[in-house]
């Protein structure tokens, strides 16, 4: 160190030398200026760094806000922002499902719901206003559409409250349209209910015919449980009554038209064959691809039995169970048609009981009914299976006898009938004897219509009765011309 220069003062003190005070003060002032400048530079650098940080935060916030806006714009769910009172401030394009975007700002959100759900919205707003949190579970609301033609929506709603220092400033609402989901659930429940409770058998198969599911009615009708049926082909139900051609035609119709209906015979688990009315339908997707086949069938056996029972009741005599007048007319018409086609003849016999009134008068109608049942049985036993025996009145019967035309044959049959009826009737330990008067009309000699044949047989029957009974008479035109008063030439005593 030079000897001309003194060492620097310790502790940063400024030394003052004689004759140099002015230079020292200037130096001191400059030194302070330098310090202040350095502090300003340091502060400026810090401000610049803070500015850069704020700018980066701002840019990030702007980018995040832009991304959020893009997200909300593309959001398929409805987004609404409301103030603390529930007044809509803004919405995304998806809100058009409720109303045009220009109409929603300023609308109270509760007014978008149906009347039954407005109270739920009010309670939710009160809960958020009082500092409560949004419900953990989404709220399900029915929204009434403000856009013309749009149906009401079933919506799942969640909300996010925005608070500043604990003060509620705004509420974000996310609204998801679940209408189709609820409708699908409802349809599924209804389908399950119908599938399980319908009295018709239901069978669902895959495209190859393997059974996927059956309902309880299927098991009740067929006797096969679900476990026994699922996985099998419906062929295991076939009775053999339909041939291969029948099933080929059925499947061709099903694949061509998408459905088939018809009557079919199947076999139950116990071996019983039953008749069913079957409807087959193909379930297809939007592109027409077959997904499965659905078979719905009802057992016609009981229905057919009931129809037979009703037919029997309508066409049978309540007491003797013989065909009544209506069924006799029907069979007589059929016999006339058949005889015309074949050129054949047949006989109509009218049978009236003799001395039957005495039983009713003496012993009452109960004894008379017993006698009629026994007489009906004897008449039936006297005739062939091809013949028809009918009760057409109190003690009047009629018999259709195909192929009988000769007077000899008529006499033999009439004699057999009268002989059977002359046998004593044992009713409550008492013997009763009745006889019969029989009139005969022949087709086509004595008429070609049912009414004329029956009328002529009754004319002949009355002639036989006037001849003393227990005999038969064949219709002669002279009988009718004489007012049914003269004995018939063909009358014969049995």
Domain assignments of the chain as residue spans, ordered by start:
23-74, 79-182, 198-304, 316-493
**Whether the predicted pLDDT of 185 surpasses 70:** yes
C-beta atoms surrounding 125 within 10 Å: 19
Q: Cα-Cα-Cα-Cα dihedral of 24, 27, 32, 38, to 10°?
A: -160
Q: 386-407: per-residue pLDDT in tens?
A: 999 999 988 999 999 998 888 9
Residue 173, class by beta-carbon neighbours within 10 Å (0-12 exposed, 13-18 middle, 19+ buried)? buried
Whether 198-304 and 316-493 share one fold: the answer is no
316-493 CATH fold: Alpha-Beta Plaits (3.30.70)
CATH class belonging to 198-304: alpha beta
Q: Where is 325: in which H helix or E strand? A: helix 325-342
User: pLDDT (tens digit, 9 = 90+) per residue, 196-236?
Assistant: 778 899 999 988 889 999 999 999 999 999 999 999 999 99
Residues facing 439 on adjacent strands: 350, 473
Distance CA 267, CA 280 (A): 18
CB 387 within 8 Å of CB 403: no
* 39-51 per-position pLDDT tens digit: 888 788 888 888 7
Confidence of residue 248 (pLDDT cuts 50, 70, 90): very high
Give pLDDT, residue 147: 54
Topology of domain 79-182, CATH: Beta-Lactamase (3.30.450)
The answer to whether the beta carbons of residues 114 and 154 sit under 8 Å apart is: no
| pTM score | 0.46
């Amino acid at each position: 160190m030079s000897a001309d220069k003194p060492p620097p003062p310790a502790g940063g003190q400024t030394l003052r030398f004689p004759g140099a005070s002015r230079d020292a003060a200037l130096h001191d002032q400059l030194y302070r200026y330098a310090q202040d400048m350095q502090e300003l530079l340091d502060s400026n650098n810090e401000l610049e760094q803070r500015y850069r940080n704020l700018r980066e935060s701002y840019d990030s916030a702007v980018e995040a806000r832009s991304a959020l806006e893009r997200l909300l714009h593309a959001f398929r769910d409805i987004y609404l922002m409301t103030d603390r009172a529930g007044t809509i401030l803004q919405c995304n394009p998806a809100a058009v499902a409720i109303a045009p975007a220009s109409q929603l700002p300023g609308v109270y959100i509760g007014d978008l719901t149906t009347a039954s759900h407005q109270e739920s919205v009010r309670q939710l707003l009160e809960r958020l206003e009082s500092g409560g949190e949004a419900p953990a579970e989404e709220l399900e609301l029915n929204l009434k559409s403000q856009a013309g033609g749009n149906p009401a929506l079933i919506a799942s709603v969640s909300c996010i409250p925005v608070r500043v220092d604990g003060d509620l400033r705004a509420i974000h609402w996310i609204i998801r349209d679940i209408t189709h989901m609820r409708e699908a659930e409802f349809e599924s429940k209804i389908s399950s209910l119908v599938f399980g409770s319908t009295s018709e058998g239901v069978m669902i198969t895959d495209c190859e015919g393997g059974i996927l599911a059956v309902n309880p009615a299927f098991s009740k009708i067929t006797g096969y449980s679900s476990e026994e049926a699922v996985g099998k082909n419906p062929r295991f139900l076939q009775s053999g009554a339909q041939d291969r051609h029948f099933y080929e035609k059925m499947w061709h119709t099903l694949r061509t038209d998408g459905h088939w209906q018809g009557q079919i015979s199947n076999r139950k688990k116990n071996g019983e064959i039953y008749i069913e009315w079957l409807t087959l339908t193909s379930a297809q997707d939007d592109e027409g691809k077959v997904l499965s086949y659905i078979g719905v069938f009802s057992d016609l056996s009981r229905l057919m039995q009931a129809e037979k029972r009703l037919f029997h009741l309508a066409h049978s005599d309540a007491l003797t169970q013989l065909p009544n007048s209506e069924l006799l007319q029907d069979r007589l018409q059929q016999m006339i048609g058949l005889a015309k086609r074949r050129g054949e003849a047949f006989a109509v016999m009218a049978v009236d009981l003799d001395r039957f009134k005495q039983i009713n008068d003496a012993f009452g109608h109960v004894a008379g009914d017993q006698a009629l049942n026994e007489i009906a049985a004897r008449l039936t036993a006297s005739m062939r299976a091809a013949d028809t025996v009918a009760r057409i009145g109190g003690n009047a019967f009629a018999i259709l006898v195909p192929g009988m035309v000769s007077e000899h044959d008529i006499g033999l049959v009439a004699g057999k009938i009268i002989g059977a009826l002359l046998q004593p009737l044992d009713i409550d330990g008492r013997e009763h004897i009745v006889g019969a008067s029989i009139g005969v009309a022949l087709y086509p000699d004595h008429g070609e219509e049912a009414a004329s044949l029956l009328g002529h047989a009754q004319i002949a029957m009355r002639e036989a009765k006037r001849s003393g009974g227990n005999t038969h008479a064949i219709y002669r035109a002279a009988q009718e011309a004489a007012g049914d008063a003269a004995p018939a030439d063909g009358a014969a005593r049995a």
